[in-house]
Amino acid sequence: MTSFLTLLHKELLRFWKVAFQTVAAPILTSLLYLVIFSKALDGHVTVYNGVGYAAFLVPGLVMMSVLQNAFANSSSSIIQSKVTGNIVFMLLTPITYFEFFCAYVLASVARGLTVGAGVFIVTAWFVDLRIAAPLWAAAFALLGSAILGAMGLLAGIWAEKFDQLAAFQNFVILPLTFLSGVFYSLHSLPSVWQTLSRFNPFFYMIDGFRYGFFGVSDAPPATSLTVVCAAFALLSAATLLLLKSGYKLRH
């Protein structure tokens, strides 16, 4: 356990030492989203009965911050280690690939939840929110950050340079996030787009998390939880296989 705890501590310090960039900056970005979109659309868009647009927007922004920062933490760490060459020092240590996976994912969860909590605290000054089902919200926040932590590790292993990682983030992570219902309800879309959205696992993460706040959602929360758990299991299995084989790490 010593090697696992050491690597986890190193990954936690890695983002906390530059918290102004890794925590404060994403919180400010989400606050700007809230101010701009709520001022422009509040009173003009009705989502759920009795729920204002600004209130509807906050859980989506919180979860979006959780997901994006969890991905950024593991992906940037692994690609930086590969590019600088210090990945070899971690591979030489007596640490199993499972411990390696857990350390990176747990650190990503920590960063994602830290940023998400910061976004929630800051936006609470602008919107009056009550959490209807806190356990549901916590479950989706934990699973969502773990999924994106595993996805970030997968992307970092696959990428050989920063440009490739940026392309993965711009062409995969950002579209899936912005088309997942952060800024709108699924029922406000045409039927074709509603169908396509149901193939987006990010939709279930955000919709399930929003259920924890309002007790209503576009998809049944049990269905969302099933999809999210299946996505985590598949991504974890794929990442563990790559780590075990040493793909683009030892070769």
How many other CB atoms are found less than 10 A from the CB of residue 74? Answer: 31
pLDDT-derived band at 77 (thresholds 50, 70, 90) equals very high
Q: Do you know the residue count of the chain? A: 251
CA distance linking residue 109 with residue 148, whole number of Å: 8
CB 61 within 8 A of CB 123: yes
CA distances from 226 to 126, 140, 194, 214, 215 (A): 33, 11, 19, 20, 18
CA distance linking residue 45 with residue 52, whole number of Å: 8
CB 100 within 8 A of CB 10: no
pLDDT-derived band at 240 (thresholds 50, 70, 90) equals very high
CA distance linking residue 115 with residue 22, whole number of Å: 8
Task: Extract the runs of DSSP E, i.e. beta strands, from 121-207.
Answer: none
Q: What is the pLDDT of residues 173-214, one digit of tens each?
A: 999 998 898 888 888 788 888 888 899 999 999 999 999 999
The structure's pTM equals: 0.93
What pLDDT sits at residue 46? 63
Give yes or no for residue 76 having a pLDDT over 70.
yes
Amino acid type, 222: A
Q: What is the torsional sign of CA 198, 201, 203, 206?
A: positive
Q: What is the pLDDT of residues 107-158, one digit of tens each?
A: 999 999 999 999 999 988 888 888 999 999 999 999 999 999 999 999 999 9
